[in-house]
Amino acid sequence: MASIDKQTEDPRTDKGADDDSRAITEAALFEAFGGIRGMVETTVPGLVFVLIYTINRDIHIAAIAALSLSVLLGIARLVRKDTLKHAFSGVFGVAFGAVFAMMSGDAKNFYLPGMLYTLGLAVAYIATAIAGVPLLGLILGPVFKENLSWRKRNPGRLRAYTKASWAWGLILLAKSAILFPLYWWGDATQLGWVKVALGIPPMLLSVYLTWIFLSKAPPPINVIAEMEAEEEAKKAAARS
């Protein structure tokens, strides 16, 4: 009877461990990509630009308003002591777009830097997935404290990162396939509203698919903890 008890596993324990793993994955993804707030902050300046430009057709006023809002959102993140990369990435992106639009006199160029970045990112995701060093693993490895251990020591996570990188690449390519024809043949108002509409949904889909792939993958190998344990072992050996 005792042996049967030892072999019987409590399904609640497995379920709890699985829930913990999923919660950790979800938290790491939100940290890496800025969460819902980061997505909104990326989209709202573009919404302000197209809204003001649609009303008064003044590129300079629309660009300055969008940039001012982006700076305020960045300052708010700094005041809350959020991650600096999320505070400044949006500001720099909007600043490049504002400068491009005002210097060229073409409102569509406000969106061009972001579009080129999206296309470049899509190519990078796909190219690194093909090369066997998926970009998403390089991004999330430090967040999970596994660094590059997934490449050689954790093949299940390598497969998950590869699938997720393919998902990101294809979704961003699809987004680019919609936006660039509008940039070439549409007007600034059409491009602006479509770009705003495509700001959050593709990101949410990409993050959701990444969560699905990683939550089903083996847990990360915490190489930071391993190094700390090795260092403690060396210190203990030196003291003995």
DSSP SS3 for 168: helix
Going 178 to 40 to 157 to 215, the CA torsion angle's sign is negative
| In a domain? residue 214 | yes
- The amino acid occupying position 197 is A
> Could you tell me if 197 and 3 are in contact, meaning their C-beta atoms sit under 8 angstroms apart?
no
| In a domain? residue 8 | no
| In a domain? residue 48 | yes
Q: Which of these, 58, 89, 88, 94, lies nearest to 75 by C-alpha position?
A: 88
Confidence of residue 222 (pLDDT cuts 50, 70, 90): confident
| In a domain? residue 134 | yes
- Work out the mean pLDDT of the chain and round it to a whole number: 82
Give residue 227's pLDDT.
77
| In a domain? residue 143 | yes
| In a domain? residue 6 | no
Give residue 123's pLDDT.
97
DSSP 217: S
> Could you tell me if 94 and 66 are in contact, meaning their C-beta atoms sit under 8 angstroms apart?
yes
| In a domain? residue 72 | yes
pTM of the model: 0.81
Intra-chain end-to-end CA distance of the chain, in Å? 44
| In a domain? residue 4 | no
Q: Tally the domains of the chain.
A: 1
pLDDT at 170 over 80: yes
Flag the least confident range among 16-25, 70-79, 96-105, 182-191: 16-25
- The residue range of the domain holding 106 is 21-234
> Could you tell me if 83 and 35 are in contact, meaning their C-beta atoms sit under 8 angstroms apart?
no
